[in-house]
A and B are shown apart, each in its own frame.
Chain A
Amino acid sequence: MNALKITQLKKYYSNGLLALKGIDLEVKQGDFFALLGANGAGKSTTIGIIASLVNKTSGSVTVFGHDLDQEPEAVKRCIGLVPQEFNFNQFENVFDIVVSQAGYYGIPRKKALERAEICLKLLELWDKRNEASRELSGGMKRRLMIARALVHEPKLLILDEPTAGVDIEIRRSMWEFFKKINKAGTTIILTTHYLEEAESLCRHIAIINKGEVIENTNMKSLLENAAEEVFVLNLEKPVEVIPSILGCNIIPIDETTWQVSVQKENGINGLFVGLDRLGIRVSGLRNESNRLEQLFLNLLTNKKEL
């Protein structure tokens, strides 16, 4: 079953901007789906329409079989939204924000109190329940929005840049949390500018550019299409003459650091075999940028290197 099906979705803004040029998209139930695109590509407009915050111009949106035009309340009941911007009342306390959200979904107060407690404990905010939301740190505010979105137990969770501005430790723990709830059956749609995040979490991916879906595939096959990978090598000793190794392009950064582009068909083994033959020993290795980032940039600039 499709968790989400979008057909020929168009959006004209009142200033004449055509934000979506008739996009088609399907997200399967249980999927962890990445929706990527540059700023202004149309991601937030798409999410806004799905979540009933933006009026569409034409096209259809179906969530778990419910049509947005015919059964808007059934659609809303299925969705939990974590928006990009903090959009809770800054003067209310943490617990009241989550309990009120449950009330808006028609959950009786006794049950709302129980669910709010569960969600706040899950997101490690229970100790902060009586604090005004404006007093929370950036990471806590993000987690509060997630707790609020989960309080009515949605089948489809939409995360619009959920880890923007949070430190690495919290980001990693949020990833683990998202993986856990996805494994438990919640379908997740994620937009992010951290492509490492999408690569690490998502099974399917769609890339939107200027209001059009320019790629829609599964993450594995997309990454397999990468033509080359870039690594940074730390050498044990300085090397004066830059060697030539088949399928590799070496650019020295300093005496003991190289940036090496490795062609996919040669693989990283070929690089190490070549270095070993020349007696060059490597003390450290890291990716210069992740593969998805390169693919993303290639797609946006229409470089057909895939």
Chain B
Amino acid sequence: MIRKDYIIALQTITYKEVRRFLRIWVQTLLPSIITTTLYFLIFGTLIGSRIGQMKGYDYMDFIVPGLILMAVISNAYSNVVSSFYGSKFQHNIEEMLVAPMPSWVILTGYISGGVMRGLIVGVLVTIVSLFFTDLKIAHPVMMVVVFLLTGVLFSAAGFINAVYARSFDDISIVPTFVLTPLIYLGGVFYSIELLPEFWQKVSLLNPVFYMIDVFRYSVLGESDVSLLVGFSVIILFIVTLLTLSLRLLNKGIGLKN
């Protein structure tokens, strides 16, 4: 049974986080919608019509799940990394450190904020995709589950980035040099069946690949790897990143002298 005061503290952090990204919605929600719309227009409608089919689907239909999940990943990550680093930078993280709540409450609060933003952007981008394609979702419940799991995983990753960041430059290095390549090489725009065997195996080391693959299954009913493997990899990464995040917060790494 979780103590009532912990639940109130968790609600407070989550509410504060959601209020933050809604207050600056032009910076947080709108860019993903515009970017994804451009992807749909250029890669889907203009170039996609010349590419033909991918794994038996129109190219537009094939890339929609990957583009939706790409928006979820980048929003969940950037929400937590910028908010938590901002709190460190302004020292208002101290408001939480002096309060009688355990580290997991602080972590869960920030991750909830990241998941909420990922979920809202995911839903908005899904709605936009309906203007470009006749999207029929094969497994809607699984789609929501993957939304949530992806949000948790990349919120935790953003949290770790923020803990170690010492400047605003540090919070853009990982998204630019690690996250973006992982997303683009994770099968958003192509099936790994198109790759030579060696690069197919390399792709299997990319955690984003499994997320996009499982998400594509939830939308199209088609995946490159088995669902069991896909979900197992996602859960493994979530447990690893959450454990590391909690350990960093408990020790006060980057927060306490």
Q: Which residues of A contact B (CB under 8 A)?
A: 13-14, 45, 48, 51-55, 72-74, 76-77, 79, 81, 83, 85, 87-92, 96, 100-101, 103-109, 148
Contact = CB atoms under 8 A, between A and B. Distances in A.
Nearest to B106: A104
18 contacts: A53-B98, A55-B257, A72-B100, A76-B98, A83-B91, A87-B94, A88-B95, A89-B86, A96-B16, A96-B19, A100-B16, A101-B99, A105-B99, A106-B3, A106-B4, A106-B101, A109-B8, A109-B11
Given A74-B100, A106-B101, A88 B92 contact: yes
Q: Is the interface of B mostly helix, strand, loop or mixed?
A: helix
A54 B99 CA distance: 14
A106 B90 contact: no
Given A52-B97, A76-B98, A87-B91, A106 B256 contact: no
Q: Which 7 A-B pairs have the closest CB atoms?
A: A106-B5, A103-B12, A104-B99, A73-B100, A87-B91, A76-B100, A89-B92
A106 B92 contact: no
Nearest to A105: B99
Count chain A CB atoms within 10 A of each CB in B4, B19, B87, B95 and give the residue with the most.
B95
A77 B100 contact: yes
A53 to B, nearest CB: 6
A106 B8 CA distance: 5
Contacts of A105: 5, 9, 99-100
Contacts of A14: 257
B99 A87 contact: no
Contacts of A103: 8-9, 11-13, 15
A267 to B, nearest CB: 48
Contact of A87 (B8, B11, B12, B95): B95
A106 B98 contact: no
A107 B8 contact: yes
Nearest to B10: A103
B91 A100 contact: no
A294 B98 CA distance: 35
A57 to B, nearest CB: 11
B6 interface: yes
Interface in B89-128: 90-92, 94-102
A101 B95 contact: yes
B257 A54 contact: yes
A210 B8 CA distance: 42
B168 to A, nearest CB: 15
Interface in B128-183: none
A282 B8 CA distance: 65
Contacts of A101: 95, 99
Contacts of B221: none
B31 interface: no
A81 B6 CA distance: 20
B256 A104 contact: no
A104 B100 CA distance: 7
B252 interface: yes
Nearest to B92: A89
A83 B5 contact: no
Nearest to B83: A89
A51 B100 contact: no
Given A55-B256, A106-B101, A107-B8, 20 more contacts: A13-B257, A51-B98, A53-B256, A54-B256, A73-B100, A74-B100, A76-B98, A76-B100, A87-B95, A88-B92, A88-B95, A89-B87, A90-B90, A103-B11, A104-B9, A104-B13, A104-B101, A106-B4, A106-B5, A106-B8
A104 B252 CA distance: 18
A221 B95 CA distance: 38
A48 B11 contact: no
Contacts of A148: 95
A229 to B, nearest CB: 40
A60 B94 CA distance: 22
Contact of A52 (B8, B90, B98): B98
Contacts of A92: 16
Interface string B1-38: 00111101101110110010001000000000000000
A96 B13 CA distance: 12
A100 B245 CA distance: 23
Contacts of B8: 103, 106-109
B94 A83 contact: yes
Most buried by B among A53, A104, A148: A104
Nearest to A148: B95
Interface centre among A13, A51, A91 (most CB of B within 10 A): A91
A101 B92 CA distance: 10
A106 B100 CA distance: 8
B4 A100 contact: no
Nearest to A19: B257
A249 B179 CA distance: 75
A73 B101 CA distance: 7
- The residue among B3, B19, B98, B256 with the most chain A CB atoms within 10 A of its own CB is B98
A182 B3 CA distance: 32
A88 B95 CA distance: 8
Given A48-B257, A107-B8, A108-B8, A87 B92 contact: yes
Contacts of A81: 98
